Structure formats: C-alpha cells, structure tokens
Amino acid sequence: MTDATKTLCPYCGVGCGLEVSPPAQPGKATNRDSKGTPIWKVQGDRTHPSSQGMVCVKGATIAESLNKDRLHYPMMRDSLDQPFQRVSWEEALDRIVQRFKTVLATQGSDGVCMYGSGQFQTQDYYIAQKLLKGCLGTNNFDANSRLCMSSAVAGYIQSFGSDGPPCCYDDLELTDCAFLIGTNTAECHPIVFNRLRKYHKKNQHVKMIVVDPRRTPTAEAADLHLAIKPGTDIDLLNGIAHLLMRWGYIDSEFIEECTNNFPAFAEVISHYPPEVVAKICGIEEREIEIAAQYWAESKRVLSLWSMGVNQSSEGTAKVRNIINLHLMTGQIGKPGAGPFSLTGQPNAMGGREAGGLSHILPGYRLVKNPQHRAEVEQAWGLTPGAISPNPGRTAWDMITGLETGDVGLLWIAATNPAVSMPDLVRTKAALMRSPFTIYQDAYYPTETAAFAHVLLPAAQWGEKTGVMTNSERVITLCPAFKPPVGDGRPDWEIFAEVGRRLGFADKFAFKNSAEVYAEFVELTRDRPCDQTGISHERLHQEGPIQWPCADSSINNIDRHNSRPKVLDRTPKRMYTDFRFNTPDGRARFGAYHSRGLAEPADPNYPFVLTTGRLYGHWHTLTRTGRIDKIKQMHPNPFIEIHPRDAVGLGITDGELLEVRSRRGRGRFPALITKAIAPGTVFVPMHWGSLWADQAEANALTHPEACPDSLQPELKACAVQLLPV
Ligand code: SF4
C-alpha cells in the first residue's frame, strides 16, 4: 500500500492497528463505497502487535463514516425551542467564555461540568483535566467510561493499590483455561476473541468457561457455559472459590507472602457450597464443580470480563471477586494467567492514565490523596491547594445537578448521553432544564444535539493527531491523514483555546499535540503507567509501545517477526515480581456476600431485562448507523424472549411487544429464541430516537450504581411485557 498511514481503529478497546490510504492512488482503481463515492481505503496493519492485521466489520468499514452527516461549523441558539444559527468560532467561543465567567462568579467552579469520552485521544483528556481540575479548581470532569469501566478501575485500585490491567493479549495464547464472565467477547471484542478461539480450537487441553445469562456466540464456543441468573455472579465466584478451598487447590505460599485479608475472604466463601450456589444461580451443582475443576487443573487461568460485570450495582465487588480467585491460586503476574478487563472504548485506558474520571488525576493519581494533588499542582505551576480535594460529579451526578439547578454549564464532548445514560426519560428532562449546554461532536444530527445551546464541530479520527492506549496497555500514534471536515477542530485545541480566553494563556501554550503528550508523560514518571520513555517521535519511528516504558531506548515490541509480538525485554505483564502498588506491596482480598440486582423481578415487573451490544454496531449508532453494510447486518432493534414466555404472552416471532419498567417504556419486535432463559429478556442498547421509534433500551434502565465505582447498573432492570 502506498501513502498509507498507520493508525488505530477508533471503535473498541481491543485497539486494532489500521493502515489507511487515500481513495485515489497512482496506477490503482479509486476506492469507493457501495454508492460509488470515493472513500479512503482501510485494512488491518499486520505490523501492529495487538491485532496482527486482523479487523472486524467496524474497523473495515470505518472510512464510510468519515464524511457522512458531519457537523461542519459552530451553531448557537438562545433556547432549545429555537432553530440553530450558524456562527463563527469567535462568536461561539465568546459566548462560551462569557457563560463560564457568569457561572464561575455566581455558582463557583463546581457549577461547571464537562462530560467527555473514551473516544478522546489522550491529549484531549489531558487538556480537559488541566482546564477543569487545575485552572478552574473543579473535579467535575467525568467520561462515558463511568458507564463502562469504572468498576474495573475501582476493583484494581482496591485489590492492587492502583488501576491497570495486569495482562496482555499474548496471554490469550498461553493460557490453559479462559474464564470469560460478563463478556460477549465474540461480538464486542471480536479480534481478542478471534485470537482466543483459534488457540482454543488448536489446543485440546485448553478450556473455555463462559458465564453469561444468554447463550451468546461467545457461549456457543465454550466448553462450559454457566447460564446463571442475572445478578448472581458473586455467588458463583464465591462458590468456585469454596470448592478450590475445599479441594486444597490454593497457593498458600502466595497468599501468605503476597496478600492481606485472606481470613475474611475464607470465612465468606465457607457459606457457598455448590448445593447453595446452584440454587441461587439457577444452574446445576455439577456445572459449578466442573468450573472449579477447570480452575484447579489449569496451571494458567486467564479471566476476561467487560460490561456484564462492570455495569452493576455491585460491580466493584464482582471485579474483586474475580481477582480473589487469581490471588488464592497465585494466578497472576505469569504468562497466560491473570485478571484482564476488556476495555469498552478505544481510549478509555488513555483516559484513565490522564485522570479522565471525576475522582482521579493524571498518572493514576487520586483526587483524595493530598500528595497526589500536590504533585499535579506543582507540575501545572498552580498554587498549593488549587486542586479540590473533593471528587467531582460523576456522569449521573451531572444529570441530578441539572435537576437541582447546581449545574450552570454542561459541556458534553464526543459522546451521546441522550441515548447511553440510564433512565432516559429523566435524563432528557434534566437536559431540557440545562441553562447552558455546549455539545462538541463530529456528527450532526445526534440525539444529544437536540439539547444543546452551542454546537462545536470536532475534528475526528484521521483529522487530528494524538495517541490512544488499548486494553493491553499498548500506545499507538494516531496521526491526522486528512484535513478536518468544515471548520472542525481537535477537541484538545478547543479546550486549550477556552483556557487561554479564561486567562490561563501560559498553561495552554502548546504548539501541537506532541507537546501536549510530552507534558503529560512527565506526570506518569515513576507511576505504574510510566510512559516517560515514549514520545510522538518514537511512536512515529518505531510504532506502538506498551507501558510501563520509562526507558527511551527500550521498545518491547518485536517487529522483525512476521507476527509482531510484545517481548519480555520489559515487563509486559504487571506484578511479575508479585509486589503490588499498595503501601505494603501486598494485594488485598475482598470479602463479599452478594446483594443481587438493585431492581429484581417482582409480581408487578416479572421479567429481568438485560441489555447489550451487537457485533456490527457501535454504541449509539453515531457512526455505524450511517454505514450501509452494518445497517443491513443489524437493521432493527428487537427483544429476545424465550419460547415458553412467548407462549405465555401469546405472541409469535416478529410481533411487537411493549416493554415497561418503572421509568419508561419501549416497543420492540419479538425475537423468540432459546438463547435467553425463561424470565429474562434481552434488548440491544444501540438504538436512540434518531434511528427507531420507541426502541430505546435505556428508557427502561435505572441509575442505581455501585457504591464504590459509582457505575450505574445498566445491565439489568425489572420489566413487564405486554403484547401490542
Ligand atoms: Fe476496531 Fe475493535 Fe473491531 Fe478491532 S475489534 S477492528 S478495535 S472495533
């Protein structure tokens, strides 16, 4: 391929490498979409260590989204009942700065909120943190990662002393047993699953356990599918631990030398014999025994999880219970073994590194830690005490802050909360009450644009240069390969411009994104996510690099092999020395009894609704809803229902079902299938009001959240079903 740019797929956290080349190249036919429009050519990058040339349908068709329904220029209006008027950047920025000054003067800095996105590049995240948490002194920055990975973050911090997935993708091909819980990896992280599936098929001794209430394509591939009732994960995990303990398959030396709090955990799991767990989880005792047997017989167990675990009112406890199994068996810090969260968004990892949630600061630091605040204040040239010691508003707290009038300015960027937030009726009513909402996005229209006073056109993937970190901590440079559409600007440049106009010119004097990254990596020095050995220049010359990387002469990725791999020259796994990031270096067991679902089924709402994603679509359809091939693959929303329940309701395949929860309702054609258990139904979360009538999954869901991670339980709620 000539003139190809190496970059990263901007959809999911697998982080596949792509090569992108212009539509027209000398001596080659022009590349066109299905309608004959010239489009950029995209193919997998064989030299990328994480994906080795593989891509799924989303990555393969990404170029088709580049020019469709883009927001071309800033627009404004005084109230939500007025039409937007095109304005210049000057006019838009003047209005924004004026509003900032008014809110800061009348409500203080906590009257300002920004809701960002795992679609941001690390530079976007970093500049937003510097503006809000540093210059303005409010921690009211949260990202859609709150709805996605914050339970994993909280679980890692509580168990290991810091965030950071300890494993790498090579572990997929080194394990003896893959334990997949709350993850439909085949559809949601397809290239990770491809690697695991190929290895599993080739190696008879390798076991795959899938824990999921639905019989998903992932479950179809498993040696053992545990179709537990929604909300019983902790019981199952305690049950497996109980058997490992009873059979003596624990690593006593590791527990003794490397962990704390094992006695409390041992006491809890003593209450979970298989006969008790089987009843709670709705599975056979024998199935629990087989799962425990696979764990016991495997030298190397790799656990993978994503939203089915995280999006829960006890998400942190679930994550810690997965980690508990690894700690009690010493299955961590070794090839093929460990707890491995699969990140949802392409750069949620970079966001976590840059401090992109309301309770954290750059370099895996915590808002509540005085030393961490002082370190960041010093790096940013701020007066001591400039950073607030209080965690800011989470995503959902921003909605409630609009309800109470405590939020005077809401800035939403690169995300679509009018589809993805829980309890959409309440969310939209709150957004309607917002005194001033800035919405910054690459696309128009979106559902959230309807709630904005100012629309700012953002440059998107391929139109700006920055870095992203994938689930295995590999950082890839994503260079601009085309100019922005219309007047679009990179997100970080917009934040920096507002910072300069608010009087912080010296803090935002960056000439380019390489300088932003260079400043950011200094804040990772001697931290678990140390990237001080990495720069744009190195990434450009050498390709992707995995952190930790404090040495600019070491790159642990072997590019001389036909199949590039992360090498052992630097630790490609965390905790290989079995020392953790806690003050005493020991990992901590968590001890939990399950509380179950926040809203279980009851006589009035007798079904449990679960939500999830489909192979081709991405989140709220902002991109994939505009790609013909993917629309054909998944044309409409639907509700999966078991045949027995369909008979009970007197409905046939394709008939409309009205689904009601305590908060809202929707109408979905029935897809009758034994893939779902009786008493449970499934709706994909992708469709918002722009794409389908009354088919919003999140009109039904509730915002009850995990008390530790504050991640809402988007995965399950109680509903009633009525034939239409
Ligand atoms: Fe993109 Fe994820 Fe598909 Fe890879 S698996 S091509 S990162 S959407």
What CATH number should be reported for the domain holding residue 225? 3.40.228.10
Q: Yes or no: say if 270 and 246 are a contact pair by the CB < 8 Å rule.
A: no
Q: How far is the CA of 180 from the centre of ligand 1 (A)?
A: 19
Count of domains for the chain? 4
Residues 482 and 450 reside in one and the same domain: yes
Residues 394 and 433 reside in one and the same domain: yes
Residues 169 and 95 reside in one and the same domain: no
Q: Yes or no: say if 575 and 332 are a contact pair by the CB < 8 Å rule.
A: yes
Choose which residue among 12, 46, 197 to substitute to test ligand 1 binding: the one with the highest number of ligand atoms within 8 A of its C-beta. 12
Return the exposure string of 640-671: e unless at least 16 CB atoms fall within 10 Å of the residue's CB, then b.
Answer: bbbeebbeebebeeeeebbbbbebbbbbbbbb
CA–CA separation, 160 vs 471, rounded Å? 17
Can you tell me which atom of ligand 1 is nearest the CA of 191?
Answer: 5
Can you tell me which atom of ligand 1 is nearest the CA of 44?
Answer: 6
Q: How far is the CA of 63 from the centre of ligand 1 (A)?
A: 13
**Strand ranges for 342-436 from DSSP E:** 360-361, 365-366, 409-413
Q: How far is the CA of 27 from the centre of ligand 1 (A)?
A: 30
Task: Choose among 130, 170, 161, 123: nearest CA to 528.
Answer: 161
CATH number at residue 9: 2.20.25.90
Residues 533 and 647 reside in one and the same domain: no
Q: How far is the CA of 482 from the centre of ligand 1 (A)?
A: 21
Residues with Cβ < 8 Å from 98, sequence gap 6 or more?
A: none
Domain that holds residue 384: 91-131+364-412+427-552
Can you tell me which atom of ligand 1 is nearest the CA of 192?
Answer: 5
Question: Which residue's CA is the nearest one to ligand 1's atom 2?
Answer: 12
CA–CA separation, 565 vs 635, rounded Å? 38
Residue 561: the pLDDT is: 53
The complex scores an ipTM of 1.00
Residues 214 and 248 reside in one and the same domain: yes
Choose which residue among 7, 11, 57, 478 to substitute to test ligand 1 binding: the one with the highest number of ligand atoms within 8 A of its C-beta. 11
Q: How far is the CA of 574 from the centre of ligand 1 (A)?
A: 24
CA–CA separation, 107 vs 271, rounded Å? 51
CA–CA separation, 321 vs 424, rounded Å? 31
Residue 32: the pLDDT is: 85
Q: Yes or no: say if 688 and 447 are a contact pair by the CB < 8 Å rule.
A: yes
Q: Is residue 352 part of a domain?
A: no
CATH number at residue 619: 2.40.40.20
Q: Is residue 567 part of a domain?
A: no
Q: How far is the CA of 474 from the centre of ligand 1 (A)?
A: 14
Residues near ligand 1 (Cβ within 6 A): 9, 11-12, 14-16, 51, 55-56, 58-59, 190-191
Q: Is residue 278 part of a domain?
A: yes
Q: Yes or no: say if 275 and 347 are a contact pair by the CB < 8 Å rule.
A: no
Q: How far is the CA of 317 from the centre of ligand 1 (A)?
A: 29
Q: How far is the CA of 680 from the centre of ligand 1 (A)?
A: 29
Kindly give the parts of the chain with pLDDT less than 50: 1, 560, 568-569
Residues 235 and 156 reside in one and the same domain: yes
Can you tell me which atom of ligand 1 is nearest the CA of 12?
Answer: 2
Q: How far is the CA of 258 from the centre of ligand 1 (A)?
A: 36
CA–CA separation, 94 vs 89, rounded Å? 8
Task: Choose among 322, 272, 318: nearest CA to 301.
Answer: 322
Question: Which residue's CA is the nearest one to ligand 1's atom 4?
Answer: 16
Q: How far is the CA of 379 from the centre of ligand 1 (A)?
A: 35
Residues 334 and 403 reside in one and the same domain: no
Can you tell me which atom of ligand 1 is nearest the CA of 618?
Answer: 8
Q: Is residue 472 part of a domain?
A: yes
| Token pair of 350 as six digits | 């970079």
Reported pTM: 0.96
Residue 264: how many other CB atoms lie within 10 Å: 13
Can you tell me which atom of ligand 1 is nearest the CA of 8?
Answer: 7
Residues 396 and 540 reside in one and the same domain: yes
Q: Is residue 389 part of a domain?
A: yes
Can you tell me which atom of ligand 1 is nearest the CA of 51?
Answer: 4
Residues 368 and 495 reside in one and the same domain: yes
Residues 192 and 337 reside in one and the same domain: yes
Q: Is residue 568 part of a domain?
A: no
CATH number at residue 468: 3.40.50.740
Q: Yes or no: say if 415 and 447 are a contact pair by the CB < 8 Å rule.
A: no
Pairing of strands 409-413, 112-116: parallel
Residues 199 and 327 reside in one and the same domain: yes
Residues 104 and 243 reside in one and the same domain: no
Q: Is residue 563 part of a domain?
A: no
CA–CA separation, 533 vs 547, rounded Å? 9
Query: Which of 342, 377, 400 delimits the end of a domain?
Result: 342
Q: Yes or no: say if 658 and 667 are a contact pair by the CB < 8 Å rule.
A: yes
Q: Is residue 378 part of a domain?
A: yes
